[in-house]
Amino acid sequence: MSATDTRRQEIIVLTDEHKNRILDQIRHRKETCPHCGGKQFSVGDALYLGFLFRSEDSDAYMVGLTCTNPTCLAPRTGIRLSRSELLNT
Ligand SMILES: [Zn+2]
């Protein structure tokens, strides 16, 4: 990590390939926005949960999602994924 990188270490910046896989997961799970019921999301960064919260599975990640419905009043949400779902490793 470079000296100019001010992101927190537990944040994982996802590639477009990762994001496309996450969007596949969202479609597969039929996830919807808890506020407006929208099905379209943009994918943000991932946060590793297993490190922060002992009650979580050791390979759990939370991925930030933003509902793309322009009329949604609370578009920020997230999806929990395992490492294999997230990174396909
Ligand atoms: Zn929404």
21 inside domain: yes
Tokens matching residue 40: 């379209």
Mean pLDDT for 34-63 is: 85
pLDDT greater than 50 at residue 14: yes
Ligand 1: distance of its center to the CA of 32 in Å? 8
- pLDDT 10s digits, 15-31: 999 999 999 999 999 99
Q: Report the domain count for the chain.
A: 1
Q: What is the pTM of this model?
A: 0.78
- Weakest mean pLDDT among 4-18, 21-35, 61-75: 4-18
Full domain range(s) for residue 39: 11-83
pLDDT of residue 1: 46
Residue 88 lies in a domain: no
Cα–ligand 1 centroid distance for 2 (angstroms): 35
The answer to whether position 4 is within a domain reads no
Q: Residue 25 is inside which H or E element, if any? A: helix 16-29
pLDDT confidence of residue 71? 97
Question: What is the 8-class DSSP label of residue 20?
Answer: H
Greatest alpha-carbon pair distance for the chain in Å reads: 41
Structural domain includes residue 89:
no
Determine, yes or no, domain membership for 76.
yes
Does 89 have pLDDT greater than 70?
no
